[in-house]
Structure 1
Amino acid sequence: MPSPDLLAISLLVRWLLGWFLCLRMPALPEFTPIGQPRVSVLIPARNEALTLPQLLAALAAQSLHPLEVIVIDDHSSDDTAAIAHAAIAHAAIAHAAGVTVLASAPLPQGWCSKTWALQQGANRSQGDLLVFLDADTEPRPTFLAQLVANHQQYGGLVSVQPFHRTEQPYEQLSVLFNLVGLMAVPLGPRVGVAFGPAMVTSRSDYGRIGGHASVAGKVVEDWFLAHRYEAAGLPVSAFLGHGSLAYRMYPGGLSDMVVGFDKNFATAAGEVRWPWMVGVLLWLSGLFWAAWCLPAAVLHWPMVGDPALAPNLLVYVGYALQLLVITRRLGTFGWINLVFPVPVLFFLGVFLLAILNLERGSINWKGRQVPTR
């Protein structure tokens, strides 16, 4: 059994490591675009009837007007296509940008639905710059201008991880997935990381790396697309969307959220660079310790270390305050950080479920079987 002093030092190091891992999480810089770039906005949409009208309205209010907006209806079983047509008919952007709805062709073997939808949209588009935007994103009026200006600054592939806006209590449970996913990668200019909800590239660079056809069967296509750009000698930059781009993940309920995180967990974990992975695992071990030891001290459960209430309460409060501070720029996570053992249990449960689905080889997502290997 480690001595109390060694244990305290170990926990302090892990807690400090959490601050270090969050030092470099820059928001999308507020650059101003040069000239009048020809921008095509491509939106893959499968069962997005609730979110698509809001996105189209937000695009209508952009300070930089795109050349065109193409919505690719990915065989939706709801009213996505009809609502998209209705929203287009009533939106000012329909006159300014030539919005169209493209019905996706049948899914070819070896493709994932999102990569197939985006490849079709890119083939149909005419702009010099391609912006890939998820249907549930919520861009501020200056977002498109900022995104394009950052591409003019850095080139290659530039992406943004949206600020996670939560409404229902169950959505707060996702706090660790948001945090760990960003702790585990470097962020900023030319870091080799990409986020799928919002990306921009030039048409020439997109063609140079083979487009989405080069990552056709990848569930987390953004990670592998970043690899393709790097392999071609092109820079890949990634930023936070705090103040410029938001989204509400999985408004359909807790089960949708579990399956959504589950389908990405194993593949994404395999792509994390090992120095960051080690750091994140060390920080998580301290968080898990804190989540167990205060309840154990109060309820007299078995535990390693000092069973006294005061030191365990100090560790618990330290981690709770840390979570409150570092998640403020990632999403609207508040009270859940004060009871962080709850999202810890949720995180571990989804992790175990992901392992089971990895063994099964697939998972059902929006009516399709998605491979987990």
Structure 2
Amino acid sequence: MITLIYIALGYLLITSLILLSNGRSLKKLESVPPGYFERQAPEVCICIPARNEAKSIERCIQSALKQNYPNLKVHVLDDESTDGTTAILDRFQEQFPQKLTVIEGQPLPEGWLGKPWACHQLAEAAGGDILLFIDADTWLDRSAVSKAVRQMGQDVLDFMTVWPLQKLGTFWEKNVIPLIYMGIFTILPVRYVHRPPKWIPPFLRATLAPFFAAACGQFMAFKRKSYDAIGGHKSVKNQVVEDVALARNIKRAGLTMNMYHGDDVIRCRMYHLHQELWQGLRKNFLAGFHHRLSPFILTGFLQFTTYILPVLALPYLLFSNSLFLLVLSGIAILLMLVQRIYLSQWFSWNALYALLHPLGVAWFQVLGIRVLLDHFTGKAVFWKGREL
């Protein structure tokens, strides 16, 4: 028991330091001075893949069309939708024929997954100096594109990604979605996304650079020439977590990237029902580990040891003579709560749900078991009517 508590404390201390560092390193997009784009404004094409997005696509397209950026086109791909998405897109196409292009998606070729194929078709059809991919469940403040383009120029980037404010509605959304952000911002030092760590020997930096890459597919902007240089979405055609794969390809090519905090300009509501949440994360969970079982299982054990075991052990330790273990468990629980509260305040979520953090971790433990059963039994996972 004491060894496990030590492991939990060590992990919490390290991840707390990373989280605090990231709180300083993850910048918001800077404001754009008046008249900044009067002399030069590279053409931006917003690319939006849409498959059965009737409940969210209207808000997404409206926000894209209302951008205050002066040189903008919007392309939406209707990926064989079977709900009301097509009718909504037709209506927008009639209203904004000069600014909006709706593309009818082609059947999915063998060897491709749905989203990479949709984004590939969008990139093929779009012009522009900058390709901006956003999801259909994402919506933008009027200044989002202007701020993003200026930031890419200021920081001399080939690729940028922005983490939106996740709008959370249901009980399980409020418990589970913040853990995705927590898993990223307690593990990945943001400062190394842009520039490699100085403590890594120069001859190893190119090899290790992809380990310091992450991305959020809800907002990704590429310089067109950089997107083409890495092979675009064709290079990740069979990747479930294609956004992270693209970021790693950027790093492998020696190109520059960075990530930003976008809670004031970008918002997203990924899921509305528990079943959507379960299926959406079920398809991504093992893929996020490149389908490698060892790190997947080890991470699950580490999460259980860190965030659940101290809570389970607390009632027993209260009535035992192990005062030292009781204190260590109490410190572990306190650090866990501090992490979750800090993240909640950072991303404007309800901090009271920090008290239910072990419940959210337990939800992921159950999901992990389900994913392992899928893997060992060969059970297919479906998303929006397609097998992955």
Shorter-normalised TM range: 0.7 to 0.9
Report if aligned partners of 2:65, 2:99 keep a CA contact under 8 Å in 1. Answer: no
1:139 aligns with 2:140: yes
**Distance of 1:73 and 1:331 partners within structure 2:** 33
Paired residues for 1:1-373 under 5 Å: 2=2, 12-22=9-19, 23-25=21-23, 26-30=26-30, 32=32, 35-89=40-94, 94=96, 98-152=99-153, 153-174=155-176, 175-188=178-191, 189-190=194-195, 191-251=212-272, 253-270=273-290, 285-296=305-316, 306=323, 312=329, 315-330=332-347, 332-359=349-376, 360=378, 362-370=380-388
Cα deviation code 1:170-193 (max 9, x no counterpart): 211213233113333332535532
Cα deviation code 1:261-312 (max 9, x no counterpart): 111111212499x99x9999767632223332235557x7xx9955997875
- What amino acid is aligned across from residue 338 of structure 1 in structure 2? L
State the 1:123 CA deviation. 1.0
Cα deviation code 1:103-159 (max 9, x no counterpart): 100100001111111111111112111101111112222111121122223321111
Worse-matched range after superposition: 212-221 or 64-73: 64-73
Question: Unaligned stretches of 5+ in structure 1?
Answer: none
Report if aligned partners of 2:16, 2:186 keep a CA contact under 8 Å in 1. Answer: no
Report if aligned partners of 1:194, 1:236 keep a CA contact under 8 Å in 2. Answer: no
Report if aligned partners of 1:186, 1:193 keep a CA contact under 8 Å in 2. Answer: no
Report if aligned partners of 2:311, 2:329 keep a CA contact under 8 Å in 1. Answer: no
**Distance of 1:265 and 1:212 partners within structure 2:** 20
- Using the size of structure 1 for normalisation, the TM-score is 0.84
- What amino acid is aligned across from residue 185 of structure 1 in structure 2? L
Q: Given the superposition, is the C-alpha separation of residues 256 and 141 from structure 1 closer, same or farther in structure 2, using an over 3 Å criterion? A: same
Displaced runs of 4 or more, over 4 A: 6-12, 277-284, 295-298, 303-315
State the 1:38 CA deviation. 0.5
Question: Unaligned stretches of 5+ in structure 2?
Answer: 196-211
- What amino acid is aligned across from residue 17 of structure 1 in structure 2? I
- What amino acid is aligned across from residue 182 of structure 1 in structure 2? F
**Distance of 1:229 and 1:311 partners within structure 2:** 42
**Distance of 1:278 and 1:162 partners within structure 2:** 29
Report if aligned partners of 1:74, 1:103 keep a CA contact under 8 Å in 2. Answer: yes
Q: Given the superposition, is the C-alpha separation of residues 139 and 278 from structure 1 closer, same or farther in structure 2, using an over 3 Å criterion? A: farther
Worse-matched range after superposition: 184-193 or 172-181: 184-193
Q: Given the superposition, is the C-alpha separation of residues 19 and 196 from structure 1 closer, same or farther in structure 2, using an over 3 Å criterion? A: same
Worse-matched range after superposition: 211-220 or 61-70: 61-70
**Distance of 1:284 and 1:238 partners within structure 2:** 29
Kindly tell me the number of residue pairs found equivalent between the two proteins: 357
Root-mean-square deviation over aligned CA pairs:
3.2
Report if aligned partners of 2:168, 2:174 keep a CA contact under 8 Å in 1. Answer: yes
State the 1:236 CA deviation. 2.5
- What amino acid is aligned across from residue 27 of structure 1 in structure 2? K
The secondary structure found in structure 2 opposite 1:162 is strand
- What amino acid is aligned across from residue 368 of structure 1 in structure 2? R
Question: Aligned residues: percent identity?
Answer: 27
State the 1:7 CA deviation. 7.8
State the 1:220 CA deviation. 0.9
